[in-house]
Copies of this chain bind each other. A is one copy, B any other.
Amino acid sequence: MGLANRNHGLLLETLRLDVTPTGAHYLLNHFDVPILDQDRHLLKFTGAFDAPCELTLEQIKSFPAKTMPVTMECAGNGRAGVSPRSFSMPWMYEAVGTSMWTGTPLAPLIRKAAPRSDLVEISFTGADYGFDMGEDHFFGRSLTLQQLEELDVLLVFGMNGAPLLPQHGAPLRLIVPGWYGMASVKWLTDIEALTEPYDGFQQMRTYRFKETADDEGRPVQAIRVKSLMLPPGVPDWKTRRRYVQAGPVELMGRAWSGAGRTIECVEVEIRDEWHEAELQKNPDRYAWTKWSYAWAAEPGEHGLRCPATDSAGDTQPLDPPWDMSGFANNAAHCVNVFVE
């Protein structure tokens, strides 16, 4: 309950909007939100760089800026649907959101710092600090040089046209488009060029797909294809059950996938029949795609599902994929409605 009351998900009714309102975007912070002074903030490039340096926020803002919509999803999204459930944030389906992120591409800055030829990968460390499984650490993650270039990684200082908010990583964070949120390190203070593989806690101990407790696991990386439906009708306060009037109902939602894959198809299931939804043209590579379907709602109980298929041919499963930690559960979203 402590975790659920701190962290919060998307309000599904805001799926109507291309950009999730600030504050309605999901939030997952491992430790306390650091309250940092942007005027004194320094980003340090250390380790195996030939030209290590320190940059102030003003200096970072003087590089070419770019604003782009990116759909971000928590690796633990859907965990509550995976049984037996691991003890962590009990997301159902709502740990996702799309923001307009403003920053400067990271790759040119890394090139400027001149990684040595024996570089293995680059680590990114935030100012958020605490304990997990008895080990204290600053939150950190790593990327290879190739990943960093391919993923269009952005060094971000703005969100939805305003400065970054403290709980979203102010004054400086990474955005790694197409990967689950754990890669987008917040409150970024250190970029280190490593000549040995990175062994940070949040890369080696968590965020790994494990079949069993002693499985070493495979890293969680690109976002799996997924689609959410804006629940039609009106809710009941406590049960969140939906009430819909019989007749024409415009169903709509958003679908996305990772690693730059586009959405090819969304199918809507109504009483065991499948209908292809209409996709809105989406010019933004890293943002979700809007879909809609004109439903003639008939009285009775309905469980509406809306699985998507991406450009790699991956389709959402109807049942949750198994993983010890409940990571990356992309089982089809089901909205229960009562039509009267």
Contacts and interface: CB of A to CB of B under 8 A. Distances in A.
A216 interface: no
B130 A236 contact: yes
Contacts of A243: 131, 136
A21 B23 CA distance: 9
A31 B23 CA distance: 17
A165 interface: yes
A5 B1 contact: no
Given A92-B2, A94-B6, A243-B131, A165 B22 contact: yes
Interface residues of A, number: 52
A162 interface: yes
A279 interface: no
Contact of A22 (B16, B22, B31, B234): B22
A80 interface: yes
A164 to B, nearest CB: 10
Contacts of A23: 22-23, 25, 27, 165, 167-168
Nearest to A239: B2
B35 A234 contact: no
Contacts of A130: 234-237
Given A11-B167, A33-B13, A235 B131 contact: yes
B132 A236 contact: yes
Contacts of A6: 8-9, 11, 94, 240
Contacts of A27: 8, 23
A61 interface: no
A40 interface: no
A4 interface: yes
Contact of A1 (B92, B162, B165, B237): B92
Nearest to A16: B35
Interface string A258-270: 0000000000000
Contacts of A9: 5-6
Contact of A235 (B11, B31, B235): B31
A318 interface: no
A335 B88 CA distance: 21
B132 A32 contact: no
Nearest 5 pairs of A and B residues by beta carbon? A23-B23, A8-B8, A4-B4, A13-B32, A131-B236
Interface of A: 1-9, 11, 13-14, 16-17, 21-25, 27, 29-33, 35, 80, 87-88, 90-92, 94, 129-132, 136, 162, 165-168, 231, 234-240, 243
9 contacts: A5-B90, A8-B8, A8-B27, A17-B35, A23-B25, A23-B167, A24-B33, A131-B236, A131-B237
